Amino acid sequence: MSQTTTMTGSGPVTRSGVEPSGPRPKPFFTPPRIILYTVLVFACIYFLFPLYVMIVTSFKTMPEIRFGNIFALPAQWTGEAWIKAWTSACTGLTCQGLSPGFWNSVKITVPSTIVSIFIAAVNGYALVNWRFKGSELFFAVLIFGSFIPYQVFLYPLVVITRELGIFGSLWAVILVHTIFGMPILTLLFRNYFASLPQELFKAARVDGAGFWRIFFEIMLPMSLPIFVVALILQITGIWNDFLFGAVFAGTQNYPMTVQLNNIVNSAQGTPEYHVNMAATILTGLVPLIVYFVSGKLFVRGVAAGAVKG
């Protein structure tokens, strides 16, 4: 924009008196700025509109929805749809609402997150400090494999989990999430451990500390930031998963995303849009909370994973 003015204003040479220094303050409302903010605000409307519609619809009653105005605020706010979505909405088979799905998702997400992060952290540590023959090659294949569509592995993994006797259980989902979380998380931890000063590791080796002792007593305490990033990545990623839950979990363990889709897309009878929207918000709530609480770390997490991967 009008950057040339800043060039002349900078750099006060003499300190004689109370001359104002620094760049000349620019007026806030210049025409280009107004256009700029207008465009950004319109973009934000596009991004916020679905959220608004979801919230507004979920608090309406069905007669009001049938009136046909998705913009309007509810004439009478009611939490009825939320209660129904949580406790008694039908998924085609049962009518227990989303709550079983929620707890299934918790049961899947918590162990998968812990196991996958722990394994990846150890991997990253071994890759940086304990290289063995071929370790870099394995790592390269791991990263490369993360680009292959899941459909390629789907059936063989069904066979493997069936042979292990865990197909259709929570263990199968946890295993699959651990496998497919590994490339990105290992990359994250490898890069992080590589950035730590190597002298620490060497000093510990000289003092006779072994593999696990160095890992638990030196590496782990220093890697809190990267653990938070990995946590954000895994919680949102696993919570949002649909495919693995649908294939490996088995009917009684369906995660929330699968049950939500069943409630909305395979329910019989007249669709209840307010219940659908309440259920949709409920499903999106966990990742949204993670997103808003973590703020900049979320950006760092996804970008760190993405830029390098």
**Which residue among 138, 164, 217, 252 contacts other proteins (CB under 8 A)?**
138
Tell the smallest beta-carbon distance from residue 110 to other proteins (Å).
17
**Which residue among 113, 249, 284, 297 contacts other proteins (CB under 8 A)?**
284
Pull the structure tokens for residue 189: 């931890």
DSSP string across 73-126: PPSS---HHHHHHHHT---SS---TTHHHHHHHHHHHHHHHHHHHHHHHHHHHH
- Residue 298 CA to residue 309 CA, distance in Å, equals 16
Which span sits near other proteins by CB under 8 A: 83-91, 93-101, 106-114, 137-145?
137-145
Q: Is residue 18 close enough to count as binding other proteins by CB under 8 A? A: no
Tell the smallest beta-carbon distance from residue 82 to other proteins (Å).
16
- Residue 159 CA to residue 10 CA, distance in Å, equals 69
Site string for other proteins, 182-221 (x = CB under 8 A): x---x-----------x---x--x----xxx---------
**Which residue among 95, 110, 141, 222 contacts other proteins (CB under 8 A)?**
141
**How many residues sit close enough to other proteins to count as binding (CB under 8 A)?**
101
User: By the 8 A CB rule, do 185 and 116 touch?
Assistant: yes
Q: Is residue 270 close enough to count as binding other proteins by CB under 8 A? A: no
Site string for other proteins, 103-132 (x = CB under 8 A): ----------------x--xx-xxxxxxxx
- Residue 15 or 309: the one with the smaller Cβ distance to other proteins is 309
User: What letter represents residue 195's amino acid?
Assistant: S
- Residue 241 CA to residue 112 CA, distance in Å, equals 12
User: By the 8 A CB rule, do 117 and 230 touch?
Assistant: yes
Q: Is residue 51 close enough to count as binding other proteins by CB under 8 A? A: yes
Q: Is residue 13 close enough to count as binding other proteins by CB under 8 A? A: no
- Residue 3 or 16: the one with the smaller Cβ distance to other proteins is 3
> Restricting to residues 54-73, which ones interact with other proteins according to CB under 8 A?
54, 57, 65-71
> Restricting to residues 220-259, which ones interact with other proteins according to CB under 8 A?
236, 239-243, 247, 257
List Cα–Cα distances, 155 to 150, 160, 244, 247, in angstroms: 10, 9, 11, 10
Q: Is residue 291 close enough to count as binding other proteins by CB under 8 A? A: yes
List Cα–Cα distances, 30 to 6, 9, 56, 291, 303, in angstroms: 16, 19, 36, 34, 33
Which span sits near other proteins by CB under 8 A: 8-16, 82-90, 95-103, 295-303?
295-303
**Which residue among 117, 187, 277, 297 contacts other proteins (CB under 8 A)?**
277
Which span sits near other proteins by CB under 8 A: 16-24, 165-173, 221-229, 271-279?
271-279
128: helix, coil or strand? helix
Q: Which of 286, 301, 229 is nearest to 256 (CA)?
A: 286
Q: Is residue 157 close enough to count as binding other proteins by CB under 8 A? A: yes
Q: Is residue 265 close enough to count as binding other proteins by CB under 8 A? A: yes
**Which residue among 34, 40, 73, 75 contacts other proteins (CB under 8 A)?**
40
Length of the chain: 309
Which phi-psi region, left, alpha or beta, contains residue 72 (left: φ > 0; alpha: ψ -120 to 50)? beta
User: By the 8 A CB rule, do 178 and 161 touch?
Assistant: no
- Residue 89 CA to residue 264 CA, distance in Å, equals 9
